[in-house]
Each structure stands twice: as C-alpha cells, then as structure tokens.
Structure 1
Amino acid sequence: MTTLYLIRHGKTEWNLEGRYQGAHGDSPLLASSYVEIEELAHFLKPIHFDHLYTSPLKRTRETSITLKRDLGQDFPITVVEALHEFNLGLMEGMRFTEVEKQYPAIVKAFREAPADYDPTEIKGETFEQVIARTTQAIDTIVKAAQPDDHILIVSHGAAMVAMIQSLLKTPLAQVRKDGGVTNSSVTTLTTDNQGASFNLVKWNDTHFLSKQLSTTDTI
C-alpha cells in the first residue's frame, strides 16, 4: 500500500494579512511557521519517508527543505511544476475583503460553489484545469513509487482541496464539503492499486500544532 502525506505549506505573511497568493504571489513564511513545521516533523518522525515532492513556489520549497531537516531523514526532494497553487489572475495580491467587494460572485463560487466558478473575468484558472494538472502529477508520482512507499507532497490550500477531493471521486460541486486545509497540516491518503482509487485516512490533521488556530490559517 502506497501512502501519501499531503502537506500544506507553512503560514506566510500574505496568509496572515488575508491576501490571495495564488500561482504568482509568494510572500515569505512567518517566523512562527518554522515552529509549526518542526511540530509537524515531530508528529511524522516515526514514519520512514521515501520521497518528497513539492510545488515550485518558494513557500512550498522552503517548507519542504525545513521539514526534511527537522525529520532528520535522507530522501530526495523533487520539484513538480504541476503542484503549484491556483492561478487566481487579477485576485492575486488582493486582500480577501477587496476581492469580495470587486468580484463578489466569483469569490463566492470559488469558496462555496466550485461547479459555478468561472474565472474568465479575473483571467484565472478553472477548477477543472487545476484538477487535471494536479491529479496527473499524483498519477505519475504513485506509478513511480514502490508498493509500500511513504511519500510526502507539499502543495497549497486551494489546489490541494480540489486535487484530494478529485482523487477521492468527489463531484466538483461538493469539493468544499470537508472544508479547507490548514497551514502545516497533513492529509493522508492510501492506494493499493497504483492510484486507480484512494482511501482517505485523515483529513486536515492539525492536532500536533500547539497554537490556537485562527481563520487565517485555513483555506
């Protein structure tokens, strides 16, 4: 059985400020995020990992490097372009409150009704496009793995939610049914048939984080 541990990157300055980062905005990790990544590593340390795959964006690469260091394990890190965050076009860099005023229908669909989301006006990426590229990346990763491998995947909140729910065969309209994922959280999936189907072990596990979570931690 191949096990995937899907990690959302550590919290960034723009996460704290309530700004959309998307595929091009890439603010630094907060100093406190390094503590949270260490807590994540302490939780995961009993597991032997075989490989880590990361989005190319700086916030995920920095999370990946820090996590590997804190785990104290020797495994390869591979950058996978297709694991990057949603391209949110004109919304990137804007505060959530600004977007809600300027593009109310678009942001409502993005957060609550994925099947109705049309990013044409903001020159962004659709859920279908994100799901296609991320699930293809997972398919490639799983097919390259050994049957009992434990694999870390470091990516982004919105893209991960869409990707994971698609892997679980969730209809697009229900992609948001389990909520979002939190910075430095882990969601665990298994497959015993090289990715033909997946089983959800745990969604958005944050029990190991010592801080009190806030609304800016989860998307």
Structure 2
Amino acid sequence: MPVLHLVRHGESEWNLAGRVQGQSAEAGSLTARGLRQAAQAARLLAERYPDIDAIFSSDLPRARETAEVIASVLGLPVRTDPCLREQHLGCLEGRRFADPLGEGTVQDAVERLWREPWRRPGDGESITDLYERVHATLDRYAAGPGREVVLVAHGGPVRVATTSADPRRREPVPRVTVGNATVTTVDRSRCC
C-alpha cells in the first residue's frame, strides 16, 4: 500500500487576487511566487522521499503546472486525474472573498459550507460530495502499486483528506489553512 503525498498547488493568479477558484479554468496560472513554491515543494519531496514512484495531478491548470515543476525535479511523468480537482463552488467561483453576499460576504458563505457540509452552493458541490469523491480517490491510489505517490491537488481535497470529522454524519469540517505548495503525507494503511 503506497504512502500518499498530497501537495496543494502553488499560488495562482486568483489566489493573489483573493478570488474563489473552485473548478474554474479561468483561475489562471501560477504566479512567479507560485512557481518558486512549487520548486521548493519539489526539492523537499526529492530530499525526503527518494522512493516516489508516480505523480498524479488535478487537471486544473494551477495544479498541473505545480505537478510539472515537481516532475522536472523527480524525473517522473505527470498523469492527470479530474477526481483530484477542487470543490466545485458553482455560483461563488470567480467572486472575491470580500464581496458582499446576502447579509455577509462571499468568505462567510464559503465558511458556512464547511460548518454545514450538506449545503451546496448554486450549481456546486457540497463538502460531503467533496469528501466522498476525495476519499474514494485516495482509496484507489492506496490500493495501487508502488511505494510512494505524489498527488497534486487543492486546499479543499487536502482538508477533507486529513480531517477526523465525517461530513456524511453532518459533522462540521474545520476549514484549516493549507498553504500553497505544502506537502501533507497520508498513510492510508492507518485509517479507515
């Protein structure tokens, strides 16, 4: 059973602009800082984990670019997997977190999704949906061959992959900070 290294993408143009990214292809490429962050994650992976066999990435541009930087250091190809995408945030995508929405802001609406994981933003995906998609995907990779696998994804998938809360039971999921290009190692043999 391989050990899985989850990497959040480097800083994107919409990260810098304070916009909700979700699955929007318009979220832009990595910034210069994002490319540096990806290179730093690649060096860390190369130094600490010499047994990495494969790299898979969300097919969204910001994750793919991060994966390509990592792949260039590790000498491995990148394969894309849409199951590693960020939560689909529907009508919230592209809006600034600080924009007014209802009686609060877009940021408040996003936070509410984590407190009430059954809620779906218009035309979007709930935290429960995200949790089920991500955990099924991690189970698939954990059952595969190899010793260590890098999965380049997004903040939402990393949060639901590492939470002890179960949104399927309507438990709120903490919206912990996941920094750009951070590496989170998950050993699926110790869970579920």
Please confirm whether the aligned pair reaches a TM-score higher than 0.5, indicating the same fold.
yes
Q: Can you give the 5+ residue segments of structure 1 that lack an aligned partner in the other structure?
A: 199-219
Q: Equivalents in 2 of 1:108, 1:16: separation in Å?
A: 19
Cα distance change, pair 116–192 in 1 and its aligned pair in 2 (3 A): closer
Aligned position for 2:131 = 131
Measured against aligned partners, the alpha-carbon deviations of 1:168-192 in whole angstroms (never above 9, x if no partner) come to x423334216x12011111111133
Q: Equivalents in 2 of 1:113, 1:80: separation in Å?
A: 24
Aligned position for 2:159 = 161
Aligned position for 1:83 = 84
Q: Equivalents in 2 of 1:34, 1:110: separation in Å?
A: 27
Return the offset for 1:112: 5.6
Aligned position for 1:210 = none
Aligned position for 2:11 = 11
Q: Equivalents in 2 of 1:45, 1:105: separation in Å?
A: 41
Cα distance change, pair 107–124 in 1 and its aligned pair in 2 (3 A): farther
Aligned position for 1:53 = 56
Pair 1:170-2:165 in alignment: yes
Q: Can you give the 5+ residue segments of structure 2 that lack an aligned partner in the other structure?
A: none
Pair 1:184-2:186 in alignment: no
Q: Equivalents in 2 of 1:161, 1:37: separation in Å?
A: 19
Aligned position for 2:68 = 65
Moved over 6 A (4+): none
Equivalent pair of 1:158/1:180 in contact (CA under 8 Å) = no
Aligned position for 2:44 = 43
Aligned position for 1:140 = 140
Aligned position for 1:94 = 95
Amino acid at match of 2:28: S
Q: Secondary structure at the match of 1:45?
A: helix
CA-based RMSD: 2.2
Q: Secondary structure at the match of 1:125?
A: coil
Q: Identity of paired residues, percent? A: 26
Equivalent pair of 2:19/2:93 in contact (CA under 8 Å) = yes
